[in-house]
Amino acid sequence: MRSENTPPEAHPDRLLDALLNSPSPAPRLSEVGKVVEVGDGIVIVAGLERALSDELLQFASGLRGIVLDLEPGRLGVVLLGPSERVQIGETVMRTHKVVSTKVGPALLGRVVDALGNPRDGKGPIKAQAMRQVEAEAPPILDRQAIARPLATGIKIIDAAVPVGLGQRELIIGDRQTGKTSIAVDAILNQKNTDVLCIYCAIGQRGDAVAKVIGALEQGGMLARTIVISAGDETATGLAYVAPYAAMTMAEYFASQSRDVLVVLDDLTHHARSYRELSLLLRRPPGREAFPGDVFYIHARLLERAGQFTVAAGGGSITALPVVETQAENLSAYIPTNLISITDGQIYLSPRLVRKNQFPAVDLGVSVSRVGGKAQSKAFRAVAGNLRVTLSQFEELEDFARFGTRLDDATRARLTRGAAVRASLRQAERDPIAAVEQLAVLVAAMDGQFDGLSEEDTFAVMADIRIAAARDLADIAALIDRNDPLDDEARKRMITLGQKARHWLRGRDGTDA
C-alpha cells in the first residue's frame, strides 16, 4: 500500500507530472565579449556594449580585469594579474560587480595583496566581509575637528611637525633620505596605544618589504598591522588598486570606532603605474606624460581619511602618504599635487643627510597645518623655541662659513643651535616616549649639550632617557592628561640634564 506521505521522487509517474506542471525556468541572458588585443597589463575587449566603467570582468583563463576606458565598440580593461595568461580571442563575461577586497580583523598580522589574498604562506584568510575598494569620501557633516595627537615617537616630528589623528601628512624627500623609516617608526610607536596600522607597499622591491615586515615583527606591531604588498613584481593593475584597498580596510575599522594609521609607500610609484596603464590605453598624455586626471585619483583616495563623528562610526583614519622627489625638486607635478591635497608635509633634506643628521627633517620646509591644534600642551610650549633656535642657527651657520669674525653672543648662539640640532638625532627603530622626548629637548634648550661631541651627546641623551623613564612618571601622567608643563616640571627635567652632564664629567675625568 502506498502512503500519502511518500515523496514524489519515489514514484516516477508523480515526478514526471510534477516536472510537466512546474513553470519553465526564466531564460538567463549573459553578455560575452572577446579579447582583440593584449598589452602589458591591459587588454582591449570587444562585444560588451553594456559594460560600465569600473566594472569587473571575468576572463575564461580565470583572470579578472577592471573596465577603465569606454569607447564605441571597444573596452580598455586593466588586468588584475599577469597578462601572459590572456590570449587573443578569449571570451570575457560581465560580472555586474566592482572590485572588492576582504576586510576584517582576520587580516591583522597578515601580508596580503590588494584583494586581500594571502601572500605570507600562512594559509587562507577567513574575512568577515567584502567591501568595494572604491567609495565616496565621507561628507563634511560626518567629520569633526582633529583634536587628538598621533604620537610618532620621533622628537623633531612630535615637537615641531605634529600629526593629529585623522590628519593627512605627506612624507616627502629624495631617495635614501629615510622616508620609509619615519613611517615604520610611527607604526612601531603605536605599540602602547589602541591604533591599528596598515602598511601599503606600492612598487617596492621584495627585499625592502621584507625588511619592513621584519621590523614590525621585531617591534611587536605585526599582529596589529595589515601589510599590503603590491611590489614591482606584481601586476600593474594590482598596484593601481592597492591604496584604495588599504583605505577600504581602514574604513571597516573606523566604522567600529577604531583609530587607524595608513602608510601609503609610495604614491610616486602609484602615479607611475597609472601613467603606464593610461598610455597603454592610448589616453592623451599631459604634463610629464601623466594623464589629466592624475590629481583626481589621489584626491579621491586621500579625502577618505579624517576624524569622523560618532554617527559615522566615531573612528579616525590618519594617512601618511609618501612621495619621492628628484634632486630636491618640490615643484614637480606629483609632489605639488600631493602637497596641495594633504594637510602638511614632512620634508626630508639630502643636505641634512650629508651632515649625518637623522631624521633629516628640514623644519624650514616642513609644516603641519592642523596637527598643532591636536598637539599636547607640554610639547607646544617647547616647539616654538625649538623652531626659532634652529632657524637662527641655520642662518648664522651659513653666514659663519665666510670666515667672518664673530662676537661672543653669535658664537654662543651657534654653539647652542648645534647642540639642539644634535639632540634631535635619533636612531631608526627607536621610538621615544613623550616624557623622554621632552626631558631631552628641555635639557638641550637649557644648554646641557653645549660643546659636547657627537658621542658624548648620545651618551648624555641615553642617560636622560633612562632617568626620565624612572623618575618622571608623574610628569608622564601630566602629559597624558594634556596639561601644560609647569615650572617645577621644567626644573626637574633640567636637573636630569645637569646630572647626566655631571655623570659624563665623572666618566671622562674632565670638565665636559
- Which of the 8 DSSP states describes residue 24? P
Alpha-carbon torsion angle 474, 480, 484, 490, nearest 10: 40
Cα atoms in the 13 Å half-sphere on the side-chain side of 362: 19
Cα atoms in the 13 Å half-sphere on the side-chain side of 507: 11
User: What b/e readout covers 365-404, taking b as 16+ CB neighbours within 10 angstroms?
Assistant: ebbbebbbebbbebbbebbeebbebbeebeebeeeeeeee
CB atoms within 10 A of CB 328: 15
Residue with cell 587562507: 124
Catalytic residue status for 507: no
Cα atoms in the 13 Å half-sphere on the side-chain side of 482: 8
Q: Give, rounded to a whole angstrom, the gap between the first and last alpha carbons of the chain.
A: 111
Crossing angle of the two packed helices 377-400 and 408-423, in degrees rounded to 10: 130
Kindly state the cell numbers that stand for 453: 661631541
Cα atoms in the 13 Å half-sphere on the side-chain side of 259: 17
Pairing of strands 196-202, 225-230: parallel
Say if residue 158 is preceded by a cis peptide, omega within 30 of 0.
Answer: no
Q: Of 369, 380, 387, 425, which residue is the catalytic one?
A: 369
Alpha-carbon torsion angle 45, 49, 54, 57, nearest 10: -50
Q: Identify residue 268 by its one-letter amino acid code.
A: T
Kindly list the distances between the CA atom of residue 246 and the CA atoms of 260, 331, 467, in Å, as whole numbers in the listed order: 11, 28, 40
Widest Cα–Cα separation across the chain: 122
CB 22 within 8 A of CB 8: no
Backbone angles phi, psi at 58, to 5 degrees: -115, 125
- Which of the 8 DSSP states describes residue 139? P
- Which of the 8 DSSP states describes residue 509? T
What residues are labeled active site?
369
